[in-house]
C-alpha cells in the first residue's frame, strides 16, 4: 500500500519554462511534507518543505503547494534550469505524532531540463 505516490515517472521541460512535479498521499495523519532532489551517485538533498497549516511555501525558484482536501502537493520550479535535472522525491511524515521523523517517500520523478 503506497501511502505516497508520484504518478509521473519522468518529466521533460525546456529551459526557462515551468516544471511542475506532483505528489499524492493517502494517510490523513501526515502533516509535514518535504521535497528532496537526488543526483546520480549522490544521496538525496533537502529542497523545500511545507507544514499542513500552510498551503504554499516559496524558496527562490521553488514553490510547494499543498491541497489538504485533495491530499495533493506539487512542486513548481520557475524558471527551470539544466542543473535542475535530477530525480525529485516527495516525502511525508506525521511530525506531531510518534513518527520520530520517519519519512514515507514517493517513487520519484526524473526531471530533465533541456537547454
Partner 1 sequence: NAGVTQTPKFQVLKTGQSMTLQCAQDMNHEYMSWYRQDPGMGLRLIHYSVGAGITDQGEVPNGYNVSRSTTEDFPLRLLSAAPSQTSVYFCASSRDRGPTEAFFGQGTRLTVV
28 binds partner 1 (CB under 8 A): no
By beta-carbon proximity to partner 1, the closer residue of 22 and 49 is: 49
Nearer residue to partner 1 within complex by CB, 41 or 70? 41
Q: Which of 53, 19, 37 shows the shortest CA–CA distance to 91? A: 37
The C-alpha cell that represents 93 in the structure block: 511524515
**Residue (of 114, 109, 83, 115) closest to 11 by Cα position:** 109
DSSP 8-class letter at 3: S
Nearer to partner 1 by Cβ, of 32 and 113: the residue is 32
Which residues contact partner 1 by CB under 8 A?
Answer: 4, 6, 9, 32, 34, 36, 41-46, 49, 51, 89, 91, 93, 95, 99-108
Amino acid at each position: 500500500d503506497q501511502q505516497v505516490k508520484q504518478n509521473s515517472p519522468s518529466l521533460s521541460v525546456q529551459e526557462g519554462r515551468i516544471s511542475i512535479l506532483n505528489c499524492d498521499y493517502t494517510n490523513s495523519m501526515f502533516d509535514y511534507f518535504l521535497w528532496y532532489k537526488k543526483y546520480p551517485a549522490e544521496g538525496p538533498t533537502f529542497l523545500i518543505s511545507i507544514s499542513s497549516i500552510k498551503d504554499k511555501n516559496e524558496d527562490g525558484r521553488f514553490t510547494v503547494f499543498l491541497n489538504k482536501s485533495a491530499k495533493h502537493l506539487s512542486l513548481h520550479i520557475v524558471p527551470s534550469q539544466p542543473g535542475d535535472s535530477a530525480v525529485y522525491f516527495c516525502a511525508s511524515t506525521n511530525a506531531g505524532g510518534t513518527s520520530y521523523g520517519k519519512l514515507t517517500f514517493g517513487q520519484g520523478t526524473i526531471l530533465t531540463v533541456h537547454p
